[in-house]
Amino acid sequence: MGIEISPNQALDIWCRAAVDGVRRDAPDLSARQMALLLLVYMTEGPHTVRGLAQNLNISKPAVTRAIDRLTTLEMVRRKSDEADRRSVLVQRTVRGSIFLREYSEIIASAAKNATAE
């Protein structure tokens, strides 16, 4: 069940959501950090640095830097992989879940306001 919108409408929704996201009292994430956070929360795990790097088509050090920031913000956590001690798993946190739920509400509101005009 998709909703048909034009490219300009899509950009308008994205603009409204981005502006509202910046205005609220919440962490300001880069596009890379947000993409990584969304992958961890919206796709089945387990999530490894290697897997996330492959999925995003970026380097492992770039993923590690994004995870460092998200860990500092307590939006994800690292855990050693019991099956392979060389591997680190990236896991969800309550704070990350709350952040994305609130951001999804911002996006829904932006879409509603954009289509109402």
- Neighbouring residues of 4: CB distance < 8 A, sequence distance ≥ 6: none
pTM above 0.85, yes or no: yes
Domains located in the chain, CATH noted: 7-116 (1.10.10.10)
Question: For residue range 53-105, what is the model confidence (pLDDT) as tens digits?
Answer: 999 999 999 999 999 999 999 999 999 878 777 788 999 999 999 999 999 99
